[in-house]
Structure 1
C-alpha cells in the first residue's frame, strides 16, 4: 500500500516559514525523494535533485496560485491526485487540485470549455482519441510551438520527449504535438494460465474439439474455449468462458470504438490506424477529410464485418458470460475476473491489472505470482495481416487555448512533474500504465515481471506498436463517441438488431459530419462527404467495406503461451 507523502513535518514547516521559498521547496523535495521515491527512478539521486531544483526555480512566479486539473478515475490518477499533487504543491508553492471524475465527465467538461471559451479546468488528462478533434479545431495548445515559444521558460530541460513511447498518437498529421502522454494501457486477452495447463482440462478439451487448448489466435478458437469452460465446475465453483459488459452507458461506446471493429477485421490495413477506413468505419480522402461512415459513402460502420463484430459480442455476452455482466459498466466489470470464476476474457483493459494482483485473491498463487496471463487478443474472420489488432489508451495532458497563459504555465509544470523521470518509475509501479521507455526497461520491472502476468513482456516487445488509440479520422470525438453507446446499447439490449443499430449509428455519424461541413468550422481539414451511391460499388472495391464472407467461422487456431512469449524476446 502506498503511504501518502506528507509535507507537514516540523522541519518542513519551520523552513517554509523561516527560509526562502526556494530553500523551503528543495527541503520539501528532498523529503519527498527520501520518503516516497527512494531508488524507484531511472535517475540517480543527484539527477533527481537537479530536476526538482528546476521545478522549484521555474515555479517562483506562480507561488500561491490555485490551479485545477482533471482526469478520469483510475489507479494511476489516484496516485497523482493523492500523492503527487500534494508533493508538487509543497515543492513549488502552487496550490494544485487534481480532480478525479468519470471519463465521460472529463470529455463533457472539455467540450464545455471548447464551446464556451470559459476556463473550466487549467489542464485535462484526456485520451489521445481526441487527437483528430484537437488538430482540426485548433483549440488545444500546440505543444510543439508552446515549448519553443510562450512556454519555453516553463519547459523542463529534462523532459526528454524521445523517451515517451506514445508521442506518435498525440501528434497531428501536421507533425505538431498537441498532447503529452501521462498514462498508457492496452486491451489484451486475459486467461487462466493454470487451467489452460491442467493436463485433465487439456485432454478434455482436445477430445471434445480435436485440437490443443491454448491462447486463441482467432475468434473461432475463442468461442470454442468459451463454450468448453462455461458451466464447468472448477475449484468448487461454476465457471464462465467469457467476461464483458453491456450496460447502456458511455463506457459501452469505448468497448467498441476501442478497436473492437478492427479486431473483427472491419477496416483497412495500416498502422497505427486503418487507412482510408479506420476502426470506427469512417473513411477519409487523400486530404484526411472524413468522407463517409455508411457503406453508401464508402464507410464501413454498417458493413458485414461490423455486423459480425456486434453479433459475436452479443452471442458471447448472452451465452458464456455471468448474467449480471449485461447490466455492468466498464469500471464494474473490470475487477470481476479477480473473483476466480472466469476462464478467459477477450477484451481486458490492462488498467485493471493492479486490482488483479492483490495478495489473497483466488487468482493469485501464494508466492505472489498470478494464476493468469496476458496475451495478444485474437482476431475475427475479416481480419488480415497488416491490420490494427488492438487498442491502446493514451491518457494525455491537454491545455486549451482558452486557459490564461499564467495558469497554463503553472498547469504545464504539474503535467511535467507527474511525467518526469524522477517520479515515473514509482508512479508506474502504482498504476502499471507505462509512458517512458526508461521506465519499462527499469530493473525493478525486470524483477517484478513474473508477478504481472506478461504485462512487462508485452510492453518490452515489438507487439506493443500494433496496439493504438483512435486516429485522426475522427473530427469531433465528444459528439461522435456518444452516438456509439446509444446505438450499440440498442443492439446489446435487443431493442434493435445489430444491422439496424449500425445503420442508425452510421447515419447519425454522417449527420454530425454534415453539420461540421456546413458550419465550415474546421476549414479545409473538416468533413467533405462523398455523394451517396449503391453500396455494392464500394463492396466491389479493394479494402473496406468488405463483402460478407461465406464462412465467418474459419478453422480455429491456438498457440502455446510460452512459445508466444519466447517469440517476443
Structure 2
C-alpha cells in the first residue's frame, strides 16, 4: 500500500475543524474577512470557492467527511491549523484534522508509515529535504501523477504550479513533482535601515573605514559594520546596541543551519565529479541515475574541511562572541529569531524569514 499525498483541490488546503453548514454564504464571509488582499477579484475568488464547494459535495457523497494531515509546529502551519482549517470546514463541510507536532516527530511518523505500509494521515507536510527519500523508496505517490490521473477530478482547475516558488526542490530526478511548497525559509540579510540612514553614523563610519555605511557585499564589510555598532556606537536611544545576532545552543537546527546555507555562503561547495553531480560539503557519490548515494568522503571533493568552511565556522564563533548579545550563545534558532525585533540589533547576516 502506497502512502498518498492526497491533493485535495490543490494539495495545500488540508486543514480543519468541523462545520454543520457549508456553502457560498460561508465562502463569501471568508473571502470578505480573511482572504484579502488577493491577486484575484472577489468574483474570481467566489468562482474558485464554488469549485471547492462542488468538489466537496462529490467527496461527501463518496463518504469522505474527514481528512487528517500533519505538519511541524511553526507559525505558518499554526495559521493553517487554526484559521484556514476553520475556513475549509465551513466552506466545504469536510472536517480536516491538522496535527501540529515537532519536526523530528513528523519524520519519525513518516518513516514508520513507510515501513509498515499503513498511513495514519491522508496528507503530510514535510521538509523538501526528503525528496530523495520519496523518490528512491517509491512509497509516496507523486503529486503530478495524482493530479493528472486518479486525482484529476479533485485538483483545482485554477491551480497554476508556476505560482509556487521552489518547485525545483520538490521535483525528483524523474521530473515528477512529489510535493507542493507550502512554506519556505528565505535566508535574508536583515538590518536597521533607520540606523544606516542616520547622517551622524554615516559620517562616523566613513571617517573610520573609508567607505559608505550600507548593505555589505562581502564578509569583511559585514564584520566592519558589526564592530562599528558594537564598539564605536555602543548605545542608541538609551539602549546598548549590537552589530550582530546569531544563536549557538546545541540544537538539531544547527545541522541545517550550517550545511544548508552558512558554509555555502562562504563558498564551501564543489562543482561536481566528472559525472556532473555536485558533491557539495560531504563529497557524496551517487551510483545511478536515481541519485542513490553510495558513500561520502571529504577526500573525494567534499568541502566540509575546506578553507572556506574553516573560515565560515571561525567567523560564526568569533562574531557571536565579539558582537552579539552574550545570551545568544545559549539560544536556539527559535529563541534567537525574535531578538532583532526588540530593537538592539544593527544587522544579521543569517536570518530566516520574518519571525
TM-score (norm 1): 0.54
2:54 counterpart residue number: 57
1:191-241 alpha-carbon deviations (Å, 9 max, x no partner):
111222222222222233333222111111111211221141122111111
| 1:143 is the counterpart of 2:125 | no
Deviation at 1:84, TM superposition (A): 1.0
1:437 counterpart residue number: none
1:36 counterpart residue number: 34
Deviation at 1:186, TM superposition (A): 0.8
1:487-521 alpha-carbon deviations (Å, 9 max, x no partner):
xxxxxxxxxxxxxxxxxxxxxxxxxxxxxxxxxxx
Distance in 1 between the 2:91 and 2:227 partners? 56
1:257 counterpart residue number: 259
The two structures, once aligned, show a CA RMSD in angstroms of 2.6
SS of the equivalent of 2:87 reads helix
Q: Which runs of 5+ in 2 are unaligned?
A: 1-16
Distance in 2 between the 1:325 and 1:263 partners? 21
| 1:344 is the counterpart of 2:347 | yes
Deviation at 1:96, TM superposition (A): 0.7
Q: How does 1:162-241 map to 2 (within 5 A)?
A: 162-231=162-231, 232-241=234-243
Distance change in 2, residues 1:241/1:293 (3 Å): farther
Distance change in 2, residues 1:174/1:116 (3 Å): same
Deviation at 1:40, TM superposition (A): 2.2
Deviation at 1:285, TM superposition (A): 6.7
1:401-421 alpha-carbon deviations (Å, 9 max, x no partner):
xxxxxxxxxxxxxxxxxxxxx
Distance change in 2, residues 1:190/1:52 (3 Å): same
Distance in 1 between the 2:88 and 2:190 partners? 36
Distance in 1 between the 2:70 and 2:48 partners? 24
Q: How does 1:81-160 map to 2 (within 5 A)?
A: 81-160=81-160
Distance in 1 between the 2:318 and 2:286 partners? 32
Select which of 269, 291, 299 maps to 1:296.
Answer: 299
Aligned residues: 331
Deviation at 1:136, TM superposition (A): 1.8
Q: Which runs of 5+ in 1 are unaligned?
A: 1-6, 17-23, 353-569
Asked whether the equivalents of residues 293 and 300 of structure 1 are also in contact (C-alpha less than 8 Å), the reply is: no
Asked whether the equivalents of residues 283 and 300 of structure 2 are also in contact (C-alpha less than 8 Å), the reply is: no
Select which of 298, 321, 325 maps to 1:322.
Answer: 325
Distance in 2 between the 1:34 and 1:241 partners? 43
Q: How does 1:272-291 map to 2 (within 5 A)?
A: 275-278=277-280, 282-284=284-286, 287=289, 288-290=291-293
Select which of 325, 334, 338 maps to 1:335.
Answer: 338
Distance in 2 between the 1:300 and 1:293 partners? 11
